[in-house]
């Protein structure tokens, strides 16, 4: 059910007396456990699942849906000391300023494309035009595709994420670091396709 809205930004509702299309651009955030018992990869507790049980559990999310999720992030449990400590991290205000600047770059890039306001909405041809890569970046992307057999859809989605990482970095060209980071966000593909 989520596939069409995730891909096209519209949803079609069909009933006996006809069908209607509605605009439906949204951000999907979802969470899952690493395995059935929940402890796979845990620093101190042991996972009791067999490898085939882990695989079976992960197969509950379909490949085509996973393909459309751009950022996979593994969240490790947080130790009490880290929770209780004063955080010295970057402030939300500073991050917001960086995101706003990257959004402005994207709006300028998309100004001649109707209905497109950010990298996530760039159609394929425009995406390739705006994603010039350094030779080392291209090499990393090629190697990842040959090794992991990503789909054409995943290719476009990885480029869009890399474009955004480069925008946050204030860089016109996509370099090796931008591509490597974008590929790192596809950890579930790697685990499912090993």
Contact positions vs Zn ion (CB under 5 A): 35, 37, 40, 47, 49
And the tokens for 191?
């685990």
**Cβ proximity of 138 and 130 under 8 Å:** no
Q: Give the Cα separation of 48 and 163 in Å (integer).
A: 40
Among residues 3 and 45, whose Cβ is nearest to Zn ion?
Answer: 45
Least distance in angstroms from the C-beta of 78 to Zn ion: 19
Least distance in angstroms from the C-beta of 50 to Zn ion: 9
State whether the Cα torsion 119-124-182-192 is positive or negative: positive
Q: Give the Cα separation of 48 and 78 in Å (integer).
A: 21
Least distance in angstroms from the C-beta of 191 to Zn ion: 13
Among residues 36 and 98, whose Cβ is nearest to Zn ion?
Answer: 36
Q: Give the Cα separation of 103 and 110 in Å (integer).
A: 11
Least distance in angstroms from the C-beta of 187 to Zn ion: 17
- C-alpha gyration radius of the chain: 19
Among residues 39 and 155, whose Cβ is nearest to Zn ion?
Answer: 39
Among residues 40 and 182, whose Cβ is nearest to Zn ion?
Answer: 40
Angle at 72 between CA 28 and CA 47, to 5 degrees: 115
Among residues 23 and 77, whose Cβ is nearest to Zn ion?
Answer: 77
Least distance in angstroms from the C-beta of 51 to Zn ion: 10
């Amino acid at each position: 059910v989520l596939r069409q809205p995730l891909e096209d930004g519209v949803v079609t509702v069909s009933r006996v007396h006809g069908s209607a299309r509605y605009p439906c651009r949204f951000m999907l955030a979802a969470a899952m456990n690493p395995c059935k018992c929940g402890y796979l990869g845990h620093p101190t507790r042991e996972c009791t699942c067999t490898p085939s049980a882990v695989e079976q559990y992960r197969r509950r999310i379909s490949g085509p849906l996973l393909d459309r999720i751009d950022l996979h992030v593994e969240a490790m449990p947080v130790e009490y000391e880290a929770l209780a400590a004063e955080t010295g991290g970057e402030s939300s205000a500073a991050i917001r300023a960086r995101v706003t600047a990257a959004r402005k770059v994207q709006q300028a890039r998309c100004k001649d494309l109707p209905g497109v306001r950010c990298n996530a909405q760039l159609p394929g041809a425009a995406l390739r035009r705006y994603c010039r890569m350094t030779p080392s970046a291209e090499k990393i992307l090629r190697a990842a595709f040959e090794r992991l057999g990503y789909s054409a859809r995943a290719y476009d989605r990885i480029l869009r994420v890399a474009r955004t990482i480069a925008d946050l970095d204030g860089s016109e060209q996509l370099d090796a670091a931008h591509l490597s980071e974008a590929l790192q966000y596809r950890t579930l593909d790697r685990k499912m396709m090993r």
